[in-house]
């Protein structure tokens, strides 16, 4: 069990899917990647699970030829419920209805019909968010518009549990994925939200398992196709896996802020009374099912809206950043369909001051903007704690430097490993084993930003004006 490369971790993100071989310490040895393709309807825009099944099974066989894989753990985002039948082999993916793309706009009237069914904040764990976010709302849509197909469903599974079921035939529910704004699980109460009983959905909810639970071996039919003889674990929400990576290393009491499509801040020990759904705050669950405070915004989309097309190796030029700050060029929320920490701003994003005149200025402004959004997320949870930053935004060192500069006198650290989700998921195959601490670093200094404090204060005041 402890051999290098012994855990296969599947990480299903909104845009990309990664399949990694990890050693017992959670270090990634090799990774395969593929886009998470979205197909048009009918009945709605949906992820191409049939093709993804082929890729995952072939990838496991491929990695298994080079690494002594013994365990499998899946992670995934929290906005994807999968309605499946009895047989994991049915139709090549086992689903009875395609898995909704959560950025798919809703049909007329559905949001209004859903709202009174969703319960209070603790029943939902979040505000009612954009488009087709929330598994419960996806289920309501399916039940309303495709009742015959919905009636054929045997289980509703989160993304990680779908892959565990696909490999083993065992269907389970799991707290971190249900606590990731599914609107199906009340984390504070440790019970199903009222919509489950109210709609008669209890028949679709399988028994609970812990994220680390061993559900059994890969089915013989898949082994015959070349999939290694893996022990399959129940699986975990992606940001919760990343958070667990630090908790498993004994690092309690910190605020972990991961970046990518979403900026997600998580912290334990946050008073439930602090959580404000209007400010993008959430109630998540850790791998033991206990409450974890959260704050999120769709930072990757906000960055793209401001930066436009940029090379992957784009880096902020300090002189450009100084110039933008000096002349008061600002990006104000929110360009996308998510309010984030500024209620009522979705779709109202704008640039004030002299507009950026080059690709370098657009990139620098976008990095400054998402650094400000990151600080808003972290401050909502606890402005005084040690913060640990990780994720794709760290590709540009100016991001972490700006976050640190925006909270002077506080501790801000950087985890440049780049595989926190995989490491946290891999840690689940031995849940009682302490993980080695990540190699954290201080952000690189970014001198000459004398006007940053005043700039940030004005930015925040203008952003708040947009909420009125």
DSSP string for 299-363: HHHHHHHHH-S--TT----HHHHHHHHHHT-EEES-SSS--TTSTT-TT--EEESSPP-SHHHHH
Query: Taking residues 123-148, what's their average pLDDT?
Result: 95
Query: Taking residues 407-413, what's their average pLDDT?
Result: 97
Query: Taking residues 96-101, what's their average pLDDT?
Result: 96
What pLDDT, in 10s, does the model give residues 225-282?
999 999 999 999 999 999 999 999 999 899 999 998 899 999 999 999 999 999 999 9
> Which two three-digit tokens encode residue 323?
């110039």
Band the pLDDT of 435: cuts 50, 70, 90. Answer: confident
What pLDDT, in 10s, does the model give residues 166-199?
999 999 999 999 999 999 999 999 999 999 999 9
Report pLDDT for 5.
56
Calculate the CA dihedral of residues 225, 230, 236, 239 and round it to 10 degrees.
-90
Band the pLDDT of 466: cuts 50, 70, 90. Answer: confident
Above pLDDT 70, what percent of the chain? 99
- Is residue 91 scored above 80 in pLDDT? no
User: In this structure, are residues 122 and 273 in contact, taking their beta carbons and an 8 Å threshold?
Assistant: no
Report pLDDT for 141.
97
> Which two three-digit tokens encode residue 291?
């409450």
What pLDDT, in 10s, does the model give residues 26-64?
889 999 999 999 999 899 999 999 999 999 999 999 999
More confident: 91 or 215: 215
- Is residue 325 scored above 50 in pLDDT? yes
Closest CA to 391 of 363, 375, 415, 411: 415
Radius of gyration (C-alpha) of the chain in whole angstroms: 22
């Amino acid at each position: 069990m402890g051999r290098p490369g012994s855990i296969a971790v599947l990480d299903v993100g909104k845009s990309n899917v990664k399949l990694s071989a990890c050693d017992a310490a959670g270090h990634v040895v090799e990774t395969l990647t593929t886009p998470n393709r979205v197909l048009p309807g009918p009945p709605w825009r949906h992820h191409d699970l049939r093709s993804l099944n082929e890729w995952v099974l072939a990838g496991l066989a491929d990695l298994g030829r080079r690494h002594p894989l013994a365990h499998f753990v899946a992670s995934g985002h929290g906005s994807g419920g999968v309605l499946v039948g009895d047989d994991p082999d049915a139709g090549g993916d086992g689903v009875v209805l395609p898995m909704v793309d959560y950025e798919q706009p809703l049909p007329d009237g559905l949001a209004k019909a859903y709202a009174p069914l969703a319960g209070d904040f603790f029943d939902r764990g979040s505000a009612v968010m954009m488009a087709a976010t929330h598994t419960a709302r996806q289920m309501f849509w399916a039940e309303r518009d495709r009742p015959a197909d919905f009636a054929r469903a045997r289980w509703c599974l989160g993304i990680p549990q779908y892959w565990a079921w696909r490999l083993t035939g065992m269907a389970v529910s799991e707290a971190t994925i249900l606590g990731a704004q599914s609107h199906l699980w009340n984390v504070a109460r440790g019970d199903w939200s009222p919509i489950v009983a109210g709609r008669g959905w209890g028949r679709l909810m399988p028994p609970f398992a812990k994220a680390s639970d061993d559900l059994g071996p890969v089915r013989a039919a898949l082994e015959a196709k070349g999939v290694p003889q893996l022990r399959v674990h129940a699986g975990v929400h992606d940001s919760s896996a990343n958070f667990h990576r630090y908790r498993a290393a004994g690092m309690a009491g910190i605020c972990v802020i991961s970046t990518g499509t979403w900026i997600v801040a998580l912290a334990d020990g946050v008073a439930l009374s602090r959580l404000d759904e209007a400010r993008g705050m959430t109630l998540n669950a850790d791998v033991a099912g206990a409450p974890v405070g959260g704050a999120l915004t769709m930072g990757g989309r906000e960055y793209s809206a401001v930066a436009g097309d940029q090379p992957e190796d784009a880096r902020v030029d300090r002189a450009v950043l100084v110039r933008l700050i000096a002349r008061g060029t600002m990006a104000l929320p929110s360009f996308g369909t998510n309010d984030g920490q500024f209620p009522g701003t979705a779709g109202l994003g704008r640039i004030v001051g002299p507009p950026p005149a080059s690709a370098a200025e657009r990139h620098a402004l976008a990095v400054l903007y998402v650094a400000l959004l990151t600080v808003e997320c972290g401050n909502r949870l606890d402005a005084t704690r040690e913060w640990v930053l990780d994720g794709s935004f760290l590709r540009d060192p100016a991001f972490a430097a700006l976050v640190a500069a925006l909270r002077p006198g506080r501790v801000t650290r950087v985890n440049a490993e780049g595989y926190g989700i995989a490491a946290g998921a891999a840690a689940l195959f031995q849940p009682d084993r302490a993980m080695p601490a990540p190699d954290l670093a201080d952000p690189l200094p970014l001198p000459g930003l004398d006007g940053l404090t005043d700039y940030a204060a004005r930015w925040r005041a203008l952003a708040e004006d947009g909420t009125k």
